[in-house]
Every structure is written in C-alpha cells, then in structure tokens.
Structure 1
C-alpha cells in the first residue's frame, strides 16, 4: 500500500475536508497517522488552499480515494484523467490510490455511485478496466466495496462477485466495513459471514463511517454521522481476521468539532492496539 517506506499508510487516518483544513494545518492534532482525499477535489487547486494542502502532504502520508473514474461505466476509460492523476500522485508522493467498484456516468456524470451488475460478464469488463488503470498509473490500486440499494441483473452473490473481480484484475481491496453493515441490513445477509468470505491477502486497508437510519431495514450510507457499535464490532472482527490494517474515518457531512472526530480516531487506535500491541498500529 505504499510507494516508499517513509510514506507508508499506517494506523488511523482521517478524510481531509476543506472545512477542517485551517485547524489541521495549524494544530497538527495528535493521533492522526495519515489523511485521505478525493483527488478530483484537489488536482487543480492552487492559491492558499493549494499551499495548505501541500504543507500537509509534506508532513503526512496521504492516500487518495477516487470518485469519478467510473470503473464499471459504459463510457471509455478516461485516460487523460489518469495521466493527470498519475502526475498528482507523484508530486505529492501519495502512497496509495483506490477507487469504488461502481460506475458514475456515461456521457454525463451522475454524482452518485451506481452498482455494477453481479454477473460474470461484468467481472470481465471491469477487471479489464482496472488492469488498464494500473498500467497507466504504473502502480497497483485498490477497489472499494460500495453500498448499493438495488442489484439489477444479479447472477451471483456480492461476495463472489467481489472476489472474482479482485482475482481477474489482480488488484487489492479497500474494505469499507460500514458499507458491509449497510448492505447487510438493506439486503438481508449476515455481515460477519460476508467479511469472513473475503480474501485476506487482497485487503490493504479499511474504511469506517456513519450512516443514516431511514427505517429499521433501510440504511443510507451518508458519512454524515458517528460510527455506531455494530460497525465498530465489524472493524474489530476485521482486525481479528486480517490483522491490523490502516483504517480511515470518513466524515463528509454534518461535520462535528474536530475533537469529536479525534475521539473516533482514538477508538480506532484503541482497537488496533488491542489486536497488535507490539506493532504500534502500523498494519
């Protein structure tokens, strides 16, 4: 998950949001080992924001989590974007890049992450696009399991589809445990069984977040609330199965005071230390 040992992603990280930028640049709060950004939000940013961003990338390891590559979409892969992304990752010495196993547009951008049909044909299609992405970037990437609310044309279980894509593309997995919880409630499966079915040798990092409860059997993945106990338990399970992996707290909306986010970061670190007290949460 790294490009050089000094930039390795380890421990507990926080998704970087512009509303927090001033505080994070000036305070350098303890407990945050790395930051993550959507590269689309920063690739062409200059001026004061660009300088602040560079100050952080010079001090901390960073990962990038893409939003717009549309790996499963019908439109041709955006190779111009990938060339620009490759340069951005190099300039800021970004240690890791991941994308969603989804699509988000055709001729236009949907501004949402749509599920890829769980079919053998889709496995071949998306795996080819992932391999091409890795060739252009000249680095291995990770794909993230998404939250989804319908599964049109489904021919196989989600876990089988995910394993098949990872094998065919020869890429890594960024496991979002909140998405597993959300999907397990919405689609009626056991989240622990799902996680246990995943290939341990492919998993390079974890995401954790909060969500919105629309109804007892319908959750919406918002990244706009605190992490709840069932999701913390799934994170604990993931550590027990796969070892202590770099773990990112995502909070995109309804941002609380930084102190509240640091409390959740501290809980990640507590669980990591419980599973690997001698490893100092390095993953």
Structure 2
C-alpha cells in the first residue's frame, strides 16, 4: 500500500464511547486505525474526554460526520464547521468524511435523506462541499449512501455521485456495503458500479453488515456481521483499486471487542490475499 496515497493504512473499526475502558485492554496490533463521529466527541470532558485524548495520542483516527447535512436547503452551520476544524486539528485526525445526503432543514432529522439525482442538485451540493473544504482548509470525502427511493431522479446514482465528485473536486469514502445494498434494492450491477469509481479520489473504504427485509429489500443497519456477498465485493474492490484502507462499521448490537477484531482480521486476511496475488503477478 502506498503510505503517501492514503491518510491511514490497513484495517480499523469505529470507536464508540462504550469502548473507552475496554480498548486499552486489547492488543493495539489488532487494528491499524480508528474512526469516530466527531459530533459525539466535540467538547466532551470528564473521563470520556480524557480517555479519548489519550487514544488520539496513540492511534491514527479518521472522522466520519453525522450532521453536516450537505444536501440540506438550510445554510451550512458555520459555527459547527469552526468547532470541527479546531477539533480535527487538536486531535490530529487524519481525514474527514460525510454522507452524500441531508439530515436537517429547520431541525435535525433522525435519518439520512437522499438528495435528488439532478443536475441542479449536483451544482448545489458541489458548491457547499467546496465551501466546507475552504473553511476546514482540507479536502473532505463524501460517502456513497444507501437509499430506498429516488424522487425526481434525472440521472442514475452512479452518474450523480461521479458528477458531484468532479464538480466539487473532493474525495470519495467508498462504502462497499452500500454498493451491495443499493444494487439489490435498485437492481443494478454492483461490480459495474465499483469499476466506474475514480481510484484517484478514494480516501478509504467502509464495510458493514445489513438486514435482509425481503428478497429485494435490504436495510443498511450496521448492526450485524458482514455477509459473504459483501466480503466478495470487498475482494473485488482490492483487485480494482489495490490496498485501500478499510473501516469496519458497527453502530448497533455492538459485540465485544474480541468479536469486532475478528472481523477486522477478516479484512486483513483479504488484504493479505491481495498482497500475495499481487506479489505473484509482479514476479
């Protein structure tokens, strides 16, 4: 893996407050980096704040936001961005990403709503992303999100995502599970979608579990182990793009850290298999 290409390397998992005591008890060689939702840690004091500061001094961290609401009709929250910038700098966070969606208008919603796939929305969202990058003084990555309806769509999800990345000149957090979920729910070829992604914009990957509601409906829950079709798509992702750093997401039904690390080990096993195949090809 080109260590200069990505802000982190290897495989990691999402750090939650419930892990503040247990993380120090596990082997730090069992993971390469951690990811947090900055909204859950900004301005936090007490024992959680102290523990977090100690961990950020020892481990590489990425930040994956929840409340930027890049597609919202409301103005960007500049106060939040100012505080976020200070937080990222204070804790030496390696990179910041957000969802290509929106979650607020007059108030915050409790879900990530899909942005209409239109040329007008591309221009609107891209301008807001550029504003965020200007305020933070760094590139950010937008994540391809799961969605269950596409109201007013004038282009495909793939076309919309690629247009936003190009217009905003930002990076991509490529969520492998979301590709699979959307491919089932909306009937497209996951491998073809993957091949269309711009390698030079990928910052890192997400992989997660989901819930099968019906044969043609999958709900992106981040509350279960990763399943075989998603592991296979991750393998294809490495074959397509090389060893992109990969983050295991688990937001609900969080198991003991030993179980999470077993899945991180699975990510590493696919990375090691790619290394072996690549070495044989080069030889």
**Unmatched segments (≥5 aa) in structure 1:** none
Match of 1:266 in 2: 265
Using the size of structure 2 for normalisation, the TM-score is 0.94
Are 1:158 and 2:162 counterparts?
A: no
Once the two structures are TM-superposed, the CA of residue 278 in structure 1 deviates from its matched residue by 10
Q: How big is each residue's C-alpha offset from its partner over 1:234-281, in whole Å with a ceiling of 9 and x where there is no partner?
A: 1111111111011000001111121111111001111111212599xx
* Structure 2 residue matching 1:59: 3-state secondary structure: coil
* Structure 1 residue matching 2:253: 3-state secondary structure: coil
Cα 1:188–1:9 shift into 2, 3 Å: same
Using the size of structure 1 for normalisation, the TM-score is 0.94
* Structure 2 residue matching 1:222: 3-state secondary structure: coil
Are 1:54 and 2:67 counterparts?
A: no
* Structure 1 residue matching 2:22: 3-state secondary structure: helix
Once the two structures are TM-superposed, the CA of residue 32 in structure 1 deviates from its matched residue by 0.6
Match of 1:169 in 2: 168
Q: Distance in 2 between matches of 1:43 and 1:141?
A: 18
Match of 2:44 in 1: 45
Q: Distance in 2 between matches of 1:18 and 1:29?
A: 17
Q: Distance in 1 between matches of 2:201 and 2:215?
A: 32
Matches within 5 A, 1:189-204: 189-204=188-203
Q: Distance in 2 between matches of 1:14 and 1:271?
A: 16
Matches within 5 A, 1:54-133: 54-133=53-132
Give the superposed CA RMSD.
Answer: 1.7
Match of 1:140 in 2: 139
Q: Distance in 2 between matches of 1:199 and 1:24?
A: 35
Q: Distance in 1 between matches of 2:132 and 2:256?
A: 37
Once the two structures are TM-superposed, the CA of residue 30 in structure 1 deviates from its matched residue by 2.7
Q: How big is each residue's C-alpha offset from its partner over 1:127-158, in whole Å with a ceiling of 9 and x where there is no partner?
A: 00000000000000000000001000000111
Q: Distance in 2 between matches of 1:196 and 1:8?
A: 22
Q: How big is each residue's C-alpha offset from its partner over 1:10-31, in whole Å with a ceiling of 9 and x where there is no partner?
A: 1001100122221102334432
Q: Distance in 2 between matches of 1:107 and 1:38?
A: 22
Match of 1:209 in 2: 208
Match of 1:27 in 2: 26
Deviates more, 1:256-265 or 1:118-127: 256-265
The count of aligned residue pairs is 276
Q: Distance in 2 between matches of 1:8 and 1:213?
A: 33
